Amino acid sequence: MKKIVTFGEILLRLSTERHLRFSQATNFNATYGGGEFNVAVSLANFGMETEFVTRLPRNDIGDCALQEIRKYKVGTDHIKFGGDRLGIYFLETGAGVRGSKVVYDRENSAIATIELGSIDWKTVFADAKWFHWSGVTPALSSNAAAVCLEAVKAAHELGLTISSDLNYRSKLWKYGKEPKDIMPPLLQYSHILLGDLDTAFFMTGQEKKDPNYQDTVSLPKIYDQLFNSFPNLKFAATTLRYSISASHQKIGGILYDGTSIYNAETREVTPVIDRVGSGDAFMGGLIYSLIKNPQEKQEAIDFATAACCLKHTISGDYNLATIEEITQLAAGNTSGKVSR
């Protein structure tokens, strides 16, 4: 089976327990995660061959990240070593009317200082059929953006399917460039785009021509504007999130295939155990489903959305739900019965 390759950063995640605020914490739970790695874990859990490409520092913290990657059966053969530090993010988990807080401490991380040409993408992609990246990586540094472009070009040349998650984080993009300067050339090669429309227009520097966004009839037209700009695009998808509170979300999803809109049913997600990585869970579900049954678009958006819902019940960055659990939820079973 040919592999799915993802490229990006894996961070040390330090989170407070029991909804404590940062100022109350005397210890942090230490896990690992990062958008593109999270997608790889989802796919590996679904039984697919995966490879995660990143750069790790040669120290004990970098080694911990490496063990974590291996634990989830994600390939590590093309990871580079070097740089000074692993990026960190601190997470305070909210509840009810109090939202979660993220404090980034990821500047000068190993991947931010990666050098162009240091990864032999031809070898990386030799055995691969799919490449996934997200907008977090080009947001880190001009080096990371350059390597990302190098990767999508190589993937394109070798005929891989390319998926992209816009993943806009306003607190990144601090190296002097704006998304609209960087993202359009990167997105030229994408077949699948994840992200809401407003973000898509913003990050690609476009103005939405048809403002009647909410109108079902006009939705395909708006998507078409994007499809026209990025000629390789075959699918655009997004989660639909209605945030009742930090502990209660309603989650739906939309898939557009250039012709029709496919909607997944909106589900109640409460309580929210951990919403970080739920977009990555959606992405992982979508890739899996589009590989397994490329023609079953309704099934794909249902599976992706159910994966996203289930992720909210799982602590940490990754979606550890099984195919069986996701399929059952996609089929409408929300009862949460005890399995024994």
Please list every residue from 146 through 175 that binds a copy of itself, using CB under 8 A: 169, 171
Kindly identify the residues of this chain, within the stretch 10-69, that bind a copy of itself according to CB under 8 A: 14, 17-31, 59-61, 63-64, 67-68
Pick between residue 161 and residue 316 the one whose CB is nearest to a copy of itself: 316
> Which value, to the nearest 10 degrees, does the dihedral of the CA atoms of residues 12, 18, 19, 20 take?
-80
Rounded to a whole number of angstroms, the minimum distance from the CB of residue 295 to a copy of itself is: 27
Binding mask 180-219 for a copy of itself (x = CB under 8 A): ----------------------------------------
Burial of 207 (0-12, 13-18, 19+ CB in 10 A): exposed
What Å distances lie between residue 135 and 39, 124, 204, CA to CA? 14, 20, 11
Q: Which of 48, 119, 193, 329 binds a copy of itself (CB under 8 A)?
A: 329
Q: Report how far apart the first and last C-alpha atoms of the chain are (Å, whole number).
A: 34
Rounded to a whole number of angstroms, the minimum distance from the CB of residue 239 to a copy of itself is: 14
Q: DSSP assignment of 144-196, as one string?
A: HHHHHHHHHHHHHHTT-EEEEE----TTS--SS--HHHHHHHHHTT-SEEES-
Q: Report if residue 314 touches a copy of itself, rule: CB under 8 A.
A: yes
Contact between 216 and 261 under an 8 Å Cβ cutoff? The reply is: yes
C-alpha 308 chain-centroid distance: 11
Rounded to a whole number of angstroms, the minimum distance from the CB of residue 198 to a copy of itself is: 15
Residues 262 and 311: their CA atoms lie apart, in Å, by 21
The CB density around residue 255, as the number of other CB atoms within 10 Å, is 25
- Cis omega (within 30 of 0) on the bond before 294? no
Kindly identify the residues of this chain, within the stretch 259-278, that bind a copy of itself according to CB under 8 A: 267-273, 275-276
Kindly identify the residues of this chain, within the stretch 72-101, that bind a copy of itself according to CB under 8 A: 72-73, 84-85, 88, 90, 92, 94-101
The tokens 């931010």 sit on which residue?
A: 112
Binding mask 216-255 for a copy of itself (x = CB under 8 A): ---------------------------xxxxxx-------
Number of residues in contact with a copy of itself under rule CB under 8 A: 81
Rounded to a whole number of angstroms, the minimum distance from the CB of residue 117 to a copy of itself is: 25
Pick between residue 113 and residue 161 the one whose CB is nearest to a copy of itself: 113
Pick between residue 5 and residue 310 the one whose CB is nearest to a copy of itself: 310
Residues linked to residue 206 through DSSP beta bridges, in sequence order: none
Pick between residue 217 and residue 338 the one whose CB is nearest to a copy of itself: 338
Pick between residue 121 and residue 279 the one whose CB is nearest to a copy of itself: 279
